[in-house]
Amino acid sequence: MGVGVIPGIEVVVGYLATWVWRRARHAGGRIEEKVDAAVDAKLGKLYDTVAGKLAGDPALGRLESEAGQDSDVQPQVSERTRDRVRLALEDATEADPAFAAQLAELAAEVKKAAGVSASDHGVAAGRDVNVQAESGSVAAVNVYGGVTIGTPPPPPARD
C-alpha cells in the first residue's frame, strides 16, 4: 500500500455505489420516506469529491451506469467495476496525500452519520437484513464451527 492510500478504500467504493443507487431511486420517486438526510448529505459530499478528482475516468462512469440501474434491493455493481474504481482511487490517493486525507475524513463522516458499525467478523446494518436458504442449503451471517445438513450425526460414543 502506498503512502497516500487510505485503508478501507473498498468501503468508499461501496459508498459511491450506494449514493448513485439512492440518487437514481430518489429521481424515480422510489426512495423510502425514512431516508436519512444526514447520510445522504455525507454520501453526496463524498461522491462529489471523488467525482471531482476522477473526472472523466471511465471506471467512475461505469460505476454510475451499473449502480444507477433499476434494483429494489441494493446497487448492482460488478466486481470488475468495483476493482477499477478502487484502483483509480488508490492511484489518486497515492499521488495526492491531501486528497487521501480528505477521502478518509469523508468516509469516516459517512460511517458516523450512518450510525452502524461492526468489527472483526461482525455484521452491522442500518436497515433490514434478510438471510434465506433454499433447497437444503444453509444461510448464515456468521458461522463458527461445523454445519450439518440433514440428519445430524450421532453423538460421540462414551466409554
Residue pLDDT, tens place only, 123-139: 656 555 666 777 666 66
Lowest mean pLDDT among 43-52, 61-70, 82-91, 131-140: 131-140
Q: Please indicate, yes or no, if residue 140 is contained in any of the structural domains.
A: no
Contacts of 90 (CB under 8 A, 6+ apart): 2, 5, 9
Q: Is residue 48 situated within a structural domain?
A: yes
Contact call for residues 95 and 4 (beta carbons, < 8 A):
yes
Look at residue 137 in the predicted model and tell me its pLDDT: 67
Span 35-50, pLDDT tens digits: 567 778 888 899 999 9
pLDDT of residue 28 exceeding 60, the answer is no
Q: What is the pTM of this model?
A: 0.63
Does residue 124 lie within any of the structural domains? no
User: Per the domain annotation, does 60 fall within a domain?
Assistant: yes
Q: Are 9 and 93 in contact (CB under 8 A)?
A: yes
Q: What is the count of structural domains for the chain?
A: 1
Asked if residue 78 lies in contact with residue 66, where contact means CB atoms within 8 angstroms, the answer is yes
Does 149 map to a domain?
no
Domain range enclosing 108: 9-114
Residue 154 lies in a domain: no
Residue 138 falls within a domain, yes or no?
no
